[in-house]
């Protein structure tokens, strides 16, 4: 069972206003998302069963009933991406907005700790030892107001430094409190919080979701992110999780990807980069869809 196909995930999305509504069809959760003031679309993330004609019909009927513009399905499959069956003429390979990148970096947690370490760059194995030597403490902490606020303050530092988008404090509170198997790991030096990371740990797949770190050069030199990742990997192994997913890396041949810098960090912790996701779409209102998609492309160029 994927975290994205649980009721707790859907409730978190609704409470944080990420979705307008969610539905359940044959144990499959479908999100209803707003695309404009009057238009909505349906979205499904993670699908580990065949999309037979019966389910296809129910999804298409739902899109018509809810008067939605289109349906988008994103797959996550660690063994084989070609695991879905779509009746020709209904769904096609395409997407409006990508939530999961086609490629990700993973660690096979059935390997020993020594094997996992051996798959890292030597410098990064050294950085883990350096953080320990410098008395950096990394641990799973309670999801208290104080701890979440400490993480959020670091997030503001990080986004200001690295120029990427972030969510509200209320969103992170909702995420951590609604997703029962989410964990907050904080790294400290002499009781000072210098890094914070949010993970979702599960028996099948454990996922590294959000991160933040201090901009202070003194603390950045302590290499706390590497120790936090190593502690998370060990914890995932301890609950017998099968895969550790770093989530989101650049497509290997895309040298200008916005994900290049985070991809570089993740590739130093694992050499296992693989394609895991495809996107499929059914367009319910073709004229409106292509107009909105065209306007979106124009907006990006401006």
Q: Are both 3-100+277-301 and 103-275 of the same fold?
A: yes
> What residues contact 171, with CB distance under 8 A and at least 6 apart?
16
Q: What architecture is the 103-275 domain classified under in CATH?
A: 3-Layer(aba) Sandwich (3.40)
CA-to-CA distance for 123 and 198, rounded, in angstroms? 24
Whole-model pTM?
A: 0.88
Q: Which residue has the tokens 């970096």?
A: 105
Cβ proximity of 270 and 105 under 8 Å: yes
Domain boundaries, the chain: 3-100+277-301, 103-275
Token couple for 184: 């907050």
Q: Which residue has the tokens 């580990």?
A: 48
Helix axes 145-162, 169-178, angle to 10 degrees: 130
Walk along the chain (302 residues) and give the pLDDT tens digit of each residue: 678 989 999 999 999 999 999 999 988 999 999 998 889 999 998 866 677 788 888 999 999 999 999 999 998 888 765 555 666 668 888 999 888 889 999 999 999 999 999 999 898 899 999 999 999 999 999 999 999 999 999 998 888 776 766 788 999 999 999 998 999 999 999 989 999 999 999 988 999 999 888 888 888 899 999 999 999 999 999 999 999 999 888 888 887 787 787 888 888 889 899 898 889 999 999 999 998 888 888 877 76
One of 3.40.630, 2.40.160, 3.40.50, 1.10.260 is the CATH number of 3-100+277-301, namely 3.40.630
3-class DSSP assignment, residue 62: helix
CA distance readout (Å), 151 to 10, 46, 141, 192, 247:
23, 28, 11, 12, 20
Token couple for 27: 């144990």
CA distance readout (Å), 278 to 98, 169, 223:
10, 31, 35
């Amino acid at each position: 069972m994927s975290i994205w196909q649980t009721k707790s995930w859907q409730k978190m999305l609704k409470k944080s206003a990420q979705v307008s509504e969610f539905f359940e069809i044959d144990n499959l959760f479908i999100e209803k998302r707003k695309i404009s003031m009057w238009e909505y679309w349906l979205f499904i993330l993670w699908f580990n069963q065949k999309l037979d004609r019966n389910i296809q019909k129910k999804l298409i009927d739902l899109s018509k009933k809810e008067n939605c513009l289109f349906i988008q399905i994103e797959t996550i499959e660690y063994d084989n991406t070609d695991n879905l069956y779509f009746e020709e003429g209904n769904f096609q390979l395409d997407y409006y907005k990508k939530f999961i990148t086609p490629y990700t970096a993973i660690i096979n947690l059935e390997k020993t700790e020594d094997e996992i370490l051996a798959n890292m760059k030597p410098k990064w194995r050294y950085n883990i030892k350096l953080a320990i030597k410098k008395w950096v403490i990394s641990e799973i902490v309670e999801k208290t107001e104080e701890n979440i606020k400490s993480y959020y303050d670091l997030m503001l530092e990080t986004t200001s430094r690295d120029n990427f988008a972030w969510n509200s404090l209320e969103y992170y509170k909702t995420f951590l409190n609604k997703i029962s198997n989410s964990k907050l790991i904080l790294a400290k030096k002499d009781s000072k919080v210098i890094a914070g990371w949010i993970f979702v740990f599960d028996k099948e797949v454990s996922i590294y979701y959000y991160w933040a770190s201090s901009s202070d050069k003194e603390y950045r030199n302590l290499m706390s992110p590497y120790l936090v990742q190593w502690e998370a990997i060990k914890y995932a192994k301890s609950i017998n999780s099968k895969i550790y997913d770093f989530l989101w890396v650049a497509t290997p041949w895309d040298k200008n990807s916005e994900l290049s810098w985070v991809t570089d960090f993740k590739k130093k912790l694992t050499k296992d980069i693989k394609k895991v996701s495809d996107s499929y779409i059914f367009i319910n209102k073709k004229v409106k869809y292509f107009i909105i998609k065209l306007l979106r492309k124009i907006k990006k160029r401006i």
